[in-house]
Structures are given as C-alpha cells and as structure tokens.
Structure 1
Amino acid sequence: MPLKLYKMDLSPPVCAALMVCDLHNVPIEMIDVNLLAKDHLKPEYVKKNPMHTIPMLEDDDLIIHDSHAILTYLTEKYGKDDSLYPKDLKKRALVDQKLFFDTLLFFRIRSVTYAALFEGVRKPTEKQMKDLHEAYSFLEAFLSNTKFVADDNMTIADISILASVAAMRHIVPIDASKYPKTAAWFKFMESQSFYKNSGEKGSLGLGQVLKKALDL
C-alpha cells in the first residue's frame, strides 16, 4: 500500500514534504486538503489528526502530522545514504536544531499569512515585520559558519527552511546587500530540481494570493 500525503500546495510545510518526496522518489499518493473549504476540519480528518494541520503522512497505521517529523521519517526510510540526515549524533543534533529553528521561522510567517487569509488583516504590524527581518539575520549568521544551514553539505534542514524562506520573501524580500549569504544560499537552493519540480509552483501560488491579500 503506498503512503499517503495530505497536502495543500500553497503551504510551506507541505512544500518541504513534497520536495523530500521528490528527492527520494517516494512512492506516494497525494491527497489534496483545501483549508479554505475547511476540509481539514472534517470529522474523518480530525480523527486521524486532532491538530487538523497539513501536511499529514499516512503509512499504514502510522500517522505523522508534523512536517519536520515527516522529513526525517521519509529520509530515514527512503534516503540512499545519511548525508541529508546524518546518523552521527553531533551532526544530527545540528540538523535537528535547525529544524526546530524552522518551526520558529514558520510561525513568524504564519502570524502574517493566517491573519491575512483567514482574518482579513491586510497590514502586518511593525513587530511582525521586525521579527521577519530578525529571522533573516539569524539565517545569515548560520550561513556565516557553514556553507549550508547546519553543515557544509545540504541536509533536510535546508529543504525545510527553503520552503519557509520561499514564502517569507513574498512578505519581506531577501535584501542581498544586508543578507548576502542568505541570498546566495536561496539562489542555489531554488535552482535545485526538487524545488523546480515540487516546491516552486506552491510558493509562486502563495505569492499571488498574498499579493492580493496584503498591503505591503
């Protein structure tokens, strides 16, 4: 039985899961969940995922409803080696650390996008914008120490953060003069085939939606 991924392409965490599926050629069935139509609040969905979030991965009797856990699970199960999620304890801790950072990053983005799309708040607050700029400064600091966000080679932390930054740039564009390493990293990451195949469409779609919903 193939795995099932419940998704909505505009969601950054979904984009991250889609990119990892593409990278590992995961045999998987894609099931669309329309948040705007409240598909995620249907009883059958809430029964599987009480948090009614996306993405959600179903592998027989296993349900995973956090994108970072989905990324690690799929990489452990389908990865050809451990370069994307190292087995070395210290290296893995650094990847996990950046995945946890991505949780903070995503919720800073979500505070703007959710308010715009579901509550009609067209103008982000000064604090929200400041928080997003601060997030870029954190990422710039990470990339000043290593070539990628957690190491000198790409890991799933890069893929997860790529999905978030691809969304965040629609609110606060990446200023290459202030964040040169972040801009160079993003340029490289968005050129990768897994992003072109599985992440770009959702990010650009989100950008079009936010352009209509936000006064920036």
Structure 2
Amino acid sequence: MSIDLYYKPGSPPCRLVQLVGAALGVEFNLKDINLQAGDHLKPEFLKINPQHTIPTIVDDGFSLWDSRAISRYLIYKYAKDSSLYPADPKVRATIDQRVDFDLGTLYNRFADYILPQMFEGASADEAKYKKIEEALGFLDKILEGQKYAAGPELTLADLVLVITVSTIDAVDIPIKPYPNVVRWYELIKTTAPQYEEMNGKGVEMLRGIWAQRLGAAK
C-alpha cells in the first residue's frame, strides 16, 4: 500500500520527504495541496493535521507531519537497519546533530532572510544575510575531511542538508566561497537516489520563482 503524501511541488520540506522515500524505495500517493486556495484549511485536512502544515503523510490511517519526523518514521518502519540512520549510537548522534543544525541554524537563518523577500516583498536584510554566511561557514568546517556529512556513508543528514543547500543555491546565495560544501554538494547530487527527480526539478522550479520575484522588484 502506498502512503498518502500531502505536499506542494517545489516545497523544500516536501522535497526532503520525497528524497528520503526514493532512498528507501517507498512509494507515495501524491496529493497536491493548493495553499493559495486554502486546501490546508479545509475540515477534511484539519482532521488529518490540525496544524495544517505540509508535508503530511497518512500511512494506513496513521497521520504525521514535519519533514524530519516523517523521514525518521519512514526509516524506522520501512528500513530500520538502513545505513541512512544506523543503530550505532555515536553515528546516530552525529546524524541527529547535523539534522538539528540544519533545523535550528542553517535552514532557520535562510528562511528568516529569504521568506520575507519572497512572500512579503521585503528588502534584503544585510545582517540576516551575514548570519547565513556564518552558518555556511559552520557547515564548511563540519564537512572538512569528511566524505559525507556524518561520516563515510550517505545518511539522513546528507539528505536533510542538501535540501537546504540546494535551496540556498537556487536563490543565488553564493556557495562557491565554501569549497567543502561545494565538493559535498556535487557528491550528493550524484549519489542520492533519484536526486534529480525528487529534488533537482523542485530546485529549478524555485529558481524560476525567485527570478520572477527579482524581475518584479525592479
């Protein structure tokens, strides 16, 4: 039985769930949620997710939201011995740290800087931009001497982080000053299963939206 995935094409958190699903061989029954039309506020969706956020999954009657929680659930249920999230406590702790770094620092700073510009027409905030540069510097140090984000193998940490880094790249925030990030990014694009289908297309969609936003602001 496939899992219902309520999502929005191009959404970074939704892309993460799709990328993890591809790595695990999990199939989704995709249900496109039109946020502009208020699909997420309809009674039938609120019964599934009272927080009315995407992505949301329904797996045999079990509903869950938040992309990172969904990703771990998929691994626990469908591939608990997967190298994406090994049982070794030190490796798992390292993965968790990288995932938490993304949520609390890298993605958080990116969203704080770019979302007001994309959805509210705000001007770029230089101080917030500097915070993104600092976060990318942290990631560059984390990746120094490492093949992948949490060691020698592809893990959940890489899939989480590549969503953010690719999204940062899509809105023309330079990553070239961070050689370890660039090297790692190119590696993930060639080793994450179905990367182009599950993430690359969404990145290009976002790149186009951002280009339109910049054109409208001129």
Q: TM-score normalized by structure 1? A: 0.90
Q: Determine the structure 2 residue equivalent to 1:73.
A: 73
Which residues of structure 1 form unaligned runs of 5+?
A: none
Q: CA deviation at 1:103?
A: 0.8
Higher RCO (CA-CA < 8 Å; seq separation 6+): 1
The DSSP-based 3-state class of the residue aligned with 2:93 is helix
Q: CA deviation at 1:80?
A: 7.6
1:43-192 pair list within 5 angstroms: 43-79=43-79, 81-104=81-104, 105-121=106-122, 123-171=123-171, 172-175=173-176, 178-192=177-191
Closer, same or farther: CA 38–128 of 1 in aligned 2, 3 Å: farther
Q: CA deviation at 1:113?
A: 3.7
Distance 1:50 1:106 in 2: 24
Q: CA deviation at 1:92?
A: 0.7
Distance 1:108 1:44 in 2: 33
**Residue type matched to 1:181 in 2?**
N
Q: CA deviation at 1:47?
A: 2.8
Q: CA deviation at 1:163?
A: 0.8
Contact 1:10 1:205 (8 Å CA) reproduced: yes
Contact 1:13 1:164 (8 Å CA) reproduced: no
Contact 2:6 2:57 (8 Å CA) reproduced: yes
The DSSP-based 3-state class of the residue aligned with 1:169 is helix
Distance 2:139 2:63 in 1: 31
**Residue type matched to 2:183 in 1?**
A
Contact 1:20 1:194 (8 Å CA) reproduced: no
RMSD: 1.9
Distance 1:129 1:170 in 2: 15
Further displaced range: 90-99 or 145-154: 145-154
Q: CA deviation at 1:34?
A: 2.2
Contact 1:95 1:150 (8 Å CA) reproduced: yes
Distance 1:29 1:45 in 2: 15
Distance 2:11 2:82 in 1: 27
Contact 2:170 2:207 (8 Å CA) reproduced: yes
Distance 1:32 1:139 in 2: 33
Q: TM-score normalized by structure 2? A: 0.89
Closer, same or farther: CA 165–22 of 1 in aligned 2, 3 Å: same
**Residue type matched to 2:115 in 1?**
Y
Q: CA deviation at 1:140?
A: 0.4
For residues 5-47 of structure 1, give each alpha carbon's deviation from its aligned partner in whole angstroms, at most 9, with x where no partner exists.
1111211111111111112221321111122333222232233
The DSSP-based 3-state class of the residue aligned with 1:191 is helix
Which residues of structure 2 form unaligned runs of 5+?
A: none
Q: CA deviation at 1:145?
A: 4.7
For residues 49-95 of structure 1, give each alpha carbon's deviation from its aligned partner in whole angstroms, at most 9, with x where no partner exists.
22222111111232211111111111222238431101111211111
Counting aligned pairs with the same residue, the percent is 36
Distance 1:35 1:73 in 2: 25
Distance 1:116 1:35 in 2: 18
Contact 2:8 2:14 (8 Å CA) reproduced: yes
**Residue type matched to 1:188 in 2?**
L
Q: Determine the structure 2 residue equivalent to 1:24.
A: 24
Distance 2:174 2:110 in 1: 13
Closer, same or farther: CA 110–45 of 1 in aligned 2, 3 Å: farther
Distance 1:31 1:103 in 2: 25
